[in-house]
Structure 1
Amino acid sequence: MNETKADWADLQLFLAVAREGGLSPAARATGRSPATLGRRMMALERKLGRDLFIRHERGYELTAEARTLMQDLEAVEARLLRLTAPEEPIERPLVKVSAGTWTTLALLDQLDAITGAPADLRLRFVSTEATLDIARREVVIGFRNARPTGGSLAGRRLLRVEFAAYALPGAPDHWIRIVADTPSARWLARVAGTEAACEVTAPRNGLDLALAGRGKALLPTFIGDRHPGLERVGDTISELGHDQWIVTHQDDRHLPHVRRAIDRICAAFAGWRRA
């Protein structure tokens, strides 16, 4: 390490860049410009005599030494906050989670169990049917329909997801079609075709219409079974069944706050299996 010591302000900026995954989101969090943050990070690397980031077009990936530094600094930061502002809440570490509509709804229903009581995590849900790039740190935790194949990714199998049609008793026997690029939406397009009474582009709207008695919606059973009044219309669709996996970066899974989030999410899924 160089003799010039790193400034605590620069180390705090490093934490912002590391937590947010890039200069632009860190700029929004700190009020500094991306250019300023970029210069400060390069200066910090020179002072410490080590590389902290692997720079990509879409974000900043932490080196192994940077991950160790981040853990050490978070411990120091937490202790300083306790000593200097004991009556103020300590900033909770952020965990960004991407999941499809249905998994996000189920996770939100278990929010207190995942964040902790009292909360020691801050969750940011990115609800999308698209697959975000965990290797490039677009999110920290993602949900997938298959085992991860990337060498930098780690996964844990959660449960078997099944789909079935649901409707209120006495509702019209026609489909509510969801127009989306998902296996279930493509299956429904083949089955319903142009005979669907209504088409929506947001999966949640399909559930809303079914709850309003406007037809039958294709839903995962862990959603449909938990809505009073909705009944299954027929059997589960075998070709749509798949395993649900929780995925994170091989290195991030060892961070204490990421580990807590994963363990609590898995516990929630275990409860859904028993229900």
Structure 2
Amino acid sequence: MNDKIDNWEDLRLFISVAQEGGLSPAARATGRSAATLGRRMLALERRMQKDLFVRHDRGYELTSHGRKLLGELKEIEAHIIRATSPGTEQVTRLVKVSAGTWTTLALIRRLNEIAGMPPDARLRFISVENILDIPRREVVIGIRNKRPVERGLAGRKLSRVEFAPYATTPNANRWIKVLADTPSGRWLEKSIGNDAVCEVNSPRNGLDLALAGDGIALLPTFIGDAESALNRVGSTIPELSHDRWIVFHQDDRHLPEVRRAIDRICNVLKNGTAP
């Protein structure tokens, strides 16, 4: 009996390691040590006689056997939650979503639409300008500016993204410069050089300064047009226009919480608008 209980506990720990993408984050989530989790995962693989993970310096990547097991366990977990919950479903499933500054801002402004009411998943938004590794489960869903080409990834094309200058008054003539290694940051460096009213290293600070009437900010139109205090003070910049894609692993998209998040994010972003 104790052996059977340990097996069920190992499956629960397996879900945490698989979702978190490594031993250290899973240790924080479960309260177990990374060494203990490593031993338990190895014991689980030996009992099943299958490799569930590919172990890298950066984390644990699921094999095809691991992805299949995770999908089966998540279905079982969903049934257990529904059977034992007195009413609304307990929020236990984590979905990690990465996107750039502006897309993350648009998503969190529509949080209720993406998470559901009441929430049926625990969303973790990771705002980064670089691309995180979906196959290694750094994130589950990524918003990117091009079609995915990595093996095992799938995607849906969303809206076209365009950039334009915004300010509170039409006669604004000094730019707010964002020191970021992004296409818009590089465009500002090339176009205005040091002729800026202010320099910031966070794109979001550029929006804050523009809203305060302190200069011109270069913003995606889905952000700038949503701010009633801002006006376009110039044309869109063709060289900064790009398509927007939602990217995910082919296996993860069949998990109920991932499928729901993908569909809801698409609904929010497909028209290129923010609230």
Q: TM-score, normalised by structure 2?
A: 0.92
Report the Cα offset of residue 10 of structure 1: 1.1
What corresponds to 2:21 in structure 1? 21
Is the contact between residue 20 and residue 138 of structure 2 (CA under 8 Å) also seen in structure 1? no
Report the Cα offset of residue 87 of structure 1: 6.0
What corresponds to 2:146 in structure 1? 146
What corresponds to 1:71 in structure 2? 71
Question: What's the CA shift string for 1:170-198, capped at 9, x where partnerless?
Answer: 66310000000000110011111111110
What corresponds to 1:179 in structure 2? 179
SS of corresponding position for 2:114? helix
Aligned residues: 273
Percent sequence identity over matched residues? 62
What letter corresponds to residue 233 of structure 2 in structure 1?
V
What corresponds to 1:241 in structure 2? 241
Range 83-92 or range 192-201, more displaced: 83-92
What letter corresponds to residue 102 of structure 1 in structure 2?
W
What corresponds to 1:161 in structure 2? 161
Report the Cα offset of residue 254 of structure 1: 2.4
Report the Cα offset of residue 245 of structure 1: 0.9
What letter corresponds to residue 205 of structure 1 in structure 2?
N
State how far apart, in whole Å, the 2-side matches of 1:4 and 1:101 are. 46
For residues 5-154 of structure 1, what are the structure 2 equivalents within 5 Å? 7-84=7-84, 86=86, 89-154=89-154
Is the contact between residue 165 and residue 218 of structure 1 (CA under 8 Å) also seen in structure 2? yes
Question: What's the CA shift string for 1:126-161, capped at 9, x where partnerless?
Answer: 101122112221111111111122122212110110
Is the contact between residue 5 and residue 48 of structure 1 (CA under 8 Å) also seen in structure 2? no
What corresponds to 1:199 in structure 2? 199
Report the Cα offset of residue 57 of structure 1: 1.6
Report the Cα offset of residue 56 of structure 1: 1.6
Structure 1 residues 204 and 38: CA distance shift in structure 2, 3 A? same
SS of corresponding position for 1:173? coil
Is the contact between residue 78 and residue 90 of structure 1 (CA under 8 Å) also seen in structure 2? no
Report the Cα offset of residue 73 of structure 1: 2.0
Unaligned runs of 5+ in 2: none
Output the aligned Cα RMSD: 2.1
State how far apart, in whole Å, the 1-side matches of 2:33 and 2:88 are. 28
Structure 1 residues 146 and 84: CA distance shift in structure 2, 3 A? closer
Report the Cα offset of residue 43 of structure 1: 0.6
What letter corresponds to residue 101 of structure 2 in structure 1?
T
What letter corresponds to residue 193 of structure 2 in structure 1?
G
State how far apart, in whole Å, the 2-side matches of 1:82 and 1:172 are. 56
Question: What's the CA shift string for 1:21-70, capped at 9, x where partnerless?
Answer: 11111000111111110101111111122221121221111222222222
Is the contact between residue 171 and residue 216 of structure 1 (CA under 8 Å) also seen in structure 2? no
State how far apart, in whole Å, the 1-side matches of 2:83 and 2:220 are. 48
State how far apart, in whole Å, the 2-side matches of 1:82 and 1:248 are. 26
Structure 1 residues 143 and 219: CA distance shift in structure 2, 3 A? same
State how far apart, in whole Å, the 1-side matches of 2:92 and 2:98 are. 19
Range 151-160 or range 214-223, more displaced: 151-160
SS of corresponding position for 2:206? helix
What corresponds to 1:250 in structure 2? 250
State how far apart, in whole Å, the 2-side matches of 1:255 and 1:14 are. 16
State how far apart, in whole Å, the 1-side matches of 2:102 and 2:5 are. 49
Q: TM-score, normalised by structure 1?
A: 0.92
Unaligned runs of 5+ in 1: none
1:227 matched to 2:227: yes
Range 243-252 or range 228-237, more displaced: 243-252
SS of corresponding position for 1:194? coil
Structure 1 residues 253 and 192: CA distance shift in structure 2, 3 A? same
SS of corresponding position for 1:197? strand
